[in-house]
Protein backbone atom coordinates (compact mmCIF):
# COMPACT_ATOMS: atom_id res chain seq x y z
CA UNK A 1 0.00 0.00 0.00
CA UNK A 2 2.81 2.38 0.95
CA UNK A 3 4.71 1.41 -2.22
CA UNK A 4 1.66 2.15 -4.40
CA UNK A 5 1.23 5.52 -2.70
CA UNK A 6 4.88 6.34 -3.33
CA UNK A 7 4.57 5.49 -7.04
CA UNK A 8 1.43 7.64 -7.29
CA UNK A 9 3.11 10.61 -5.65
CA UNK A 10 6.19 10.21 -7.83
CA UNK A 11 4.08 10.09 -10.98
CA UNK A 12 2.19 13.18 -9.87
CA UNK A 13 5.43 15.05 -9.32
CA UNK A 14 6.70 14.03 -12.77
CA UNK A 15 3.46 15.16 -14.41
CA UNK A 16 3.60 18.51 -12.64
CA UNK A 17 7.11 19.10 -14.04
CA UNK A 18 6.17 18.76 -17.71
CA UNK A 19 7.69 21.99 -18.99
CA UNK A 20 5.72 23.94 -21.53
CA UNK A 21 2.51 21.95 -21.06
CA UNK A 22 -0.71 23.35 -19.64
CA UNK A 23 -2.81 20.78 -17.78
CA UNK A 24 -6.52 21.12 -18.58
CA UNK A 25 -9.60 19.61 -16.96
CA UNK A 26 -13.36 19.79 -17.33
CA UNK A 27 -13.42 23.20 -15.63
CA UNK A 28 -10.69 24.88 -17.66
CA UNK A 29 -10.80 23.23 -21.09
CA UNK A 30 -13.36 25.51 -22.77
CA UNK A 31 -11.78 28.61 -21.24
CA UNK A 32 -8.50 27.83 -22.99
CA UNK A 33 -9.67 25.97 -26.09
CA UNK A 34 -12.05 28.70 -27.24
CA UNK A 35 -10.93 29.40 -30.80
CA UNK A 36 -8.79 32.38 -29.84
CA UNK A 37 -5.49 30.51 -30.22
CA UNK A 38 -3.90 27.36 -31.66
CA UNK A 39 -3.90 24.62 -29.02
CA UNK A 40 -2.39 21.16 -29.42
CA UNK A 41 -3.99 18.88 -26.83
CA UNK A 42 -2.72 15.48 -25.77
CA UNK A 43 -5.43 13.16 -24.45
CA UNK A 44 -3.86 10.41 -22.37
CA UNK A 45 -3.92 8.63 -19.04
CA UNK A 46 -3.08 10.98 -16.23
CA UNK A 47 0.35 9.56 -15.46
CA UNK A 48 1.73 8.74 -18.89
CA UNK A 49 5.20 7.31 -19.46
CA UNK A 50 7.26 5.65 -22.16
CA UNK A 51 8.86 6.77 -25.41
CA UNK A 52 5.82 8.66 -26.82
CA UNK A 53 5.59 10.66 -23.59
CA UNK A 54 9.31 11.45 -23.69
CA UNK A 55 8.98 12.65 -27.28
CA UNK A 56 5.95 14.77 -26.37
CA UNK A 57 7.82 16.39 -23.49
CA UNK A 58 10.77 17.22 -25.72
CA UNK A 59 8.43 18.71 -28.32
CA UNK A 60 6.67 20.82 -25.67
CA UNK A 61 10.02 22.00 -24.35
CA UNK A 62 11.05 23.18 -27.81
CA UNK A 63 7.76 25.01 -28.29
CA UNK A 64 8.22 26.69 -24.91
CA UNK A 65 11.73 27.84 -25.80
CA UNK A 66 10.60 29.55 -29.02
CA UNK A 67 10.64 33.31 -29.36
CA UNK A 68 7.28 34.77 -28.37
CA UNK A 69 6.96 36.55 -31.70
CA UNK A 70 7.18 33.23 -33.57
CA UNK A 71 5.21 31.06 -31.15
CA UNK A 72 1.50 30.85 -31.89
CA UNK A 73 0.93 27.45 -30.35
CA UNK A 74 -0.12 26.40 -26.87
CA UNK A 75 0.60 22.81 -25.82
CA UNK A 76 -1.83 21.21 -23.35
CA UNK A 77 -2.85 17.83 -22.01
CA UNK A 78 -5.99 16.23 -20.60
CA UNK A 79 -5.19 13.30 -18.36
CA UNK A 80 -7.82 10.69 -17.55
CA UNK A 81 -8.11 8.36 -14.58
CA UNK A 82 -10.10 5.11 -14.59
CA UNK A 83 -10.60 5.00 -10.84
CA UNK A 84 -12.41 7.08 -8.23
CA UNK A 85 -14.18 10.03 -9.83
CA UNK A 86 -12.74 9.09 -13.25
CA UNK A 87 -11.20 12.48 -13.79
CA UNK A 88 -11.77 14.06 -17.23
CA UNK A 89 -13.66 11.05 -18.59
CA UNK A 90 -16.31 13.48 -19.84
CA UNK A 91 -13.78 15.33 -22.02
CA UNK A 92 -12.46 12.08 -23.43
CA UNK A 93 -16.00 10.95 -24.24
CA UNK A 94 -16.81 14.34 -25.78
CA UNK A 95 -14.01 13.95 -28.33
CA UNK A 96 -14.45 10.19 -28.71
CA UNK A 97 -11.05 9.35 -27.23
CA UNK A 98 -10.48 5.63 -26.63
CA UNK A 99 -7.99 4.44 -24.02
CA UNK A 100 -6.57 1.88 -26.45
CA UNK A 101 -5.50 4.74 -28.72
CA UNK A 102 -3.49 6.70 -26.10
CA UNK A 103 -1.83 9.06 -26.60
CA UNK A 104 -4.25 10.96 -28.86
CA UNK A 105 -3.32 14.41 -30.17
CA UNK A 106 -5.80 16.94 -31.51
CA UNK A 107 -5.08 20.41 -32.78
CA UNK A 108 -7.69 23.08 -32.15
CA UNK A 109 -6.85 25.82 -34.64
CA UNK A 110 -7.42 29.49 -34.03
CA UNK A 111 -10.81 30.49 -35.37
CA UNK A 112 -12.12 26.93 -35.61
CA UNK A 113 -14.11 24.65 -33.32
CA UNK A 114 -13.34 21.43 -35.20
CA UNK A 115 -10.15 19.67 -34.05
CA UNK A 116 -7.62 18.18 -36.47
CA UNK A 117 -6.34 14.74 -35.52
CA UNK A 118 -2.67 13.81 -35.51
CA UNK A 119 -2.25 10.35 -37.00
CA UNK A 120 1.49 9.76 -37.32
CA UNK A 121 4.09 8.11 -35.09
CA UNK A 122 4.61 10.18 -31.94
CA UNK A 123 8.02 11.76 -32.09
CA UNK A 124 9.44 15.27 -32.04
CA UNK A 125 9.91 15.46 -35.82
CA UNK A 126 6.36 14.36 -36.68
CA UNK A 127 4.74 16.58 -34.07
CA UNK A 128 6.82 19.49 -35.38
CA UNK A 129 5.74 18.82 -38.96
CA UNK A 130 2.13 18.61 -37.82
CA UNK A 131 2.43 21.99 -36.07
CA UNK A 132 4.11 23.48 -39.13
CA UNK A 133 1.47 22.42 -41.64
CA UNK A 134 -1.67 22.68 -39.57
CA UNK A 135 -0.89 25.69 -37.36
CA UNK A 136 1.80 27.46 -39.38
CA UNK A 137 4.25 27.26 -36.48
CA UNK A 138 7.86 26.30 -37.22
CA UNK A 139 9.19 24.18 -34.36
CA UNK A 140 12.82 23.49 -35.08
CA UNK A 141 14.05 19.90 -35.15
CA UNK A 142 17.70 18.92 -35.63
CA UNK A 143 18.72 19.52 -39.22
CA UNK A 144 15.72 21.58 -40.33
CA UNK A 145 16.19 25.25 -41.23
CA UNK A 146 13.19 27.55 -41.44
CA UNK A 147 14.30 29.62 -44.45
CA UNK A 148 15.05 26.47 -46.44
CA UNK A 149 11.73 24.94 -45.43
CA UNK A 150 10.01 28.04 -46.80
CA UNK A 151 11.73 27.43 -50.15
CA UNK A 152 10.89 23.73 -50.11
CA UNK A 153 7.23 24.48 -49.46
CA UNK A 154 7.03 26.32 -52.79
CA UNK A 155 9.43 23.91 -54.52
CA UNK A 156 7.27 20.84 -53.79
CA UNK A 157 4.16 22.63 -55.04
CA UNK A 158 5.81 23.25 -58.45
CA UNK A 159 5.96 19.62 -59.55
CA UNK A 160 5.12 20.35 -63.19
CA UNK A 161 7.18 23.53 -63.52
CA UNK A 162 10.86 22.65 -63.93
CA UNK A 163 11.95 26.26 -64.54
CA UNK A 164 10.38 27.42 -61.27
CA UNK A 165 12.09 24.59 -59.42
CA UNK A 166 15.46 25.46 -60.95
CA UNK A 167 15.00 29.09 -59.87
CA UNK A 168 14.17 27.97 -56.33
CA UNK A 169 17.22 25.71 -56.35
CA UNK A 170 19.31 28.72 -57.30
CA UNK A 171 17.81 30.63 -54.36
CA UNK A 172 18.69 27.73 -52.04
CA UNK A 173 22.28 27.63 -53.32
CA UNK A 174 22.63 31.35 -52.62
CA UNK A 175 21.17 30.89 -49.15
CA UNK A 176 23.53 27.97 -48.51
CA UNK A 177 26.51 30.29 -49.01
CA UNK A 178 25.25 32.49 -46.18
CA UNK A 179 25.05 29.72 -43.58
CA UNK A 180 27.15 29.47 -40.46
CA UNK A 181 29.37 26.46 -39.83
CA UNK A 182 26.82 24.70 -37.62
CA UNK A 183 24.09 24.76 -40.28
CA UNK A 184 26.03 24.30 -43.51
CA UNK A 185 25.61 20.50 -43.56
CA UNK A 186 21.83 20.85 -43.33
CA UNK A 187 21.85 23.51 -46.05
CA UNK A 188 23.81 21.15 -48.30
CA UNK A 189 21.22 18.41 -47.63
CA UNK A 190 18.40 20.69 -48.76
CA UNK A 191 20.26 21.71 -51.92
CA UNK A 192 21.30 18.16 -52.77
CA UNK A 193 17.74 16.88 -52.35
CA UNK A 194 16.33 19.60 -54.56
CA UNK A 195 18.88 18.79 -57.28
CA UNK A 196 18.05 15.07 -57.12
CA UNK A 197 14.31 15.74 -57.31
CA UNK A 198 14.78 17.87 -60.44
CA UNK A 199 16.91 15.09 -61.98
CA UNK A 200 14.94 12.03 -60.84
CA UNK A 201 11.46 13.20 -59.85
CA UNK A 202 9.64 13.46 -56.52
CA UNK A 203 9.98 9.68 -56.01
CA UNK A 204 13.60 10.33 -55.02
CA UNK A 205 12.45 11.45 -51.56
CA UNK A 206 10.94 8.10 -50.54
CA UNK A 207 13.88 6.19 -52.02
CA UNK A 208 16.37 8.37 -50.17
CA UNK A 209 14.47 8.11 -46.88
CA UNK A 210 14.64 4.31 -47.10
CA UNK A 211 18.36 4.43 -47.87
CA UNK A 212 19.22 6.82 -45.06
CA UNK A 213 17.13 4.85 -42.55
CA UNK A 214 19.18 1.73 -43.33
CA UNK A 215 22.39 3.67 -42.85
CA UNK A 216 21.15 5.15 -39.57
CA UNK A 217 20.16 1.73 -38.22
CA UNK A 218 23.62 0.27 -38.87
CA UNK A 219 26.31 0.04 -36.19
CA UNK A 220 27.59 3.61 -36.15
CA UNK A 221 28.97 6.11 -33.71
CA UNK A 222 26.49 8.38 -31.94
CA UNK A 223 27.87 11.30 -33.95
CA UNK A 224 27.20 9.55 -37.25
CA UNK A 225 23.71 8.46 -36.17
CA UNK A 226 22.91 12.06 -35.26
CA UNK A 227 24.13 13.12 -38.72
CA UNK A 228 21.74 10.69 -40.44
CA UNK A 229 18.92 11.69 -38.09
CA UNK A 230 19.31 15.30 -39.21
CA UNK A 231 19.31 14.16 -42.84
CA UNK A 232 16.08 12.22 -42.25
CA UNK A 233 14.45 15.28 -40.70
CA UNK A 234 15.29 17.33 -43.80
CA UNK A 235 13.91 14.62 -46.08
CA UNK A 236 10.78 14.41 -43.93
CA UNK A 237 10.13 18.09 -44.63
CA UNK A 238 10.19 17.43 -48.38
CA UNK A 239 7.88 14.44 -47.96
CA UNK A 240 5.46 16.27 -45.68
CA UNK A 241 5.21 19.26 -48.02
CA UNK A 242 4.51 16.91 -50.93
CA UNK A 243 1.77 15.09 -49.00
CA UNK A 244 0.28 18.38 -47.86
CA UNK A 245 0.08 19.53 -51.48
CA UNK A 246 -1.73 16.31 -52.43
CA UNK A 247 -4.22 16.86 -49.61
CA UNK A 248 -4.88 20.42 -50.74
CA UNK A 249 -5.48 19.27 -54.32
CA UNK A 250 -7.99 16.67 -53.14
CA UNK A 251 -9.89 19.36 -51.22
CA UNK A 252 -10.21 21.43 -54.37
CA UNK A 253 -11.59 18.53 -56.44
Domains of the chain: 2-135 (3.40.30.10), 146-252 (1.20.1150.12)
pLDDT of residue 12: 40
Residue 13, pLDDT above cutoff 70? no
Which helix (H) or strand (E) segment holds residue 60: the answer is: helix 51-64
Question: Would you say the C-alpha torsion 216, 218, 219, 220 has a positive or negative sign?
Answer: negative
- Decide: 81 and 88 in contact? Cβ < 8 Å: yes
Query: For 162-205, how does the pLDDT look when each residue is reduced to its tens digit (9 = 90+)?
Result: 999 999 999 999 999 999 999 999 999 999 999 999 999 999 99
Average pLDDT over residues 37-62: 95
Query: For 141-158, how does the pLDDT look when each residue is reduced to its tens digit (9 = 90+)?
Result: 889 999 999 999 999 999
Q: How long is the chain?
A: 253
- Decide: 43 and 103 in contact? Cβ < 8 Å: yes
> Whole-structure pTM over 0.85, yes or no?
no
Interacting residues of 184 by C-beta distance below 8 A, sequence separation 6+: 176
Closest CA to 39 of 111, 138, 125: 111
Average pLDDT over residues 85-105: 93
From the CB of residue 96, how many other CB atoms can be counted at a distance below 10 Å?
A: 9
Amino acid sequence: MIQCLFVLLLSSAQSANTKGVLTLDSWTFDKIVDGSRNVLVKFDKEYAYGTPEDEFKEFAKRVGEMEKSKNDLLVAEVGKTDYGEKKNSDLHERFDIQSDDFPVFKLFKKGSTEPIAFSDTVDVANLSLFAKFQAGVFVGVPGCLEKFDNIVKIFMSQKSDKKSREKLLSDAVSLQQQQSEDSVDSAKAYVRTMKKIIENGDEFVDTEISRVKKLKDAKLSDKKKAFFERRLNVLSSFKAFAENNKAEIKKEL
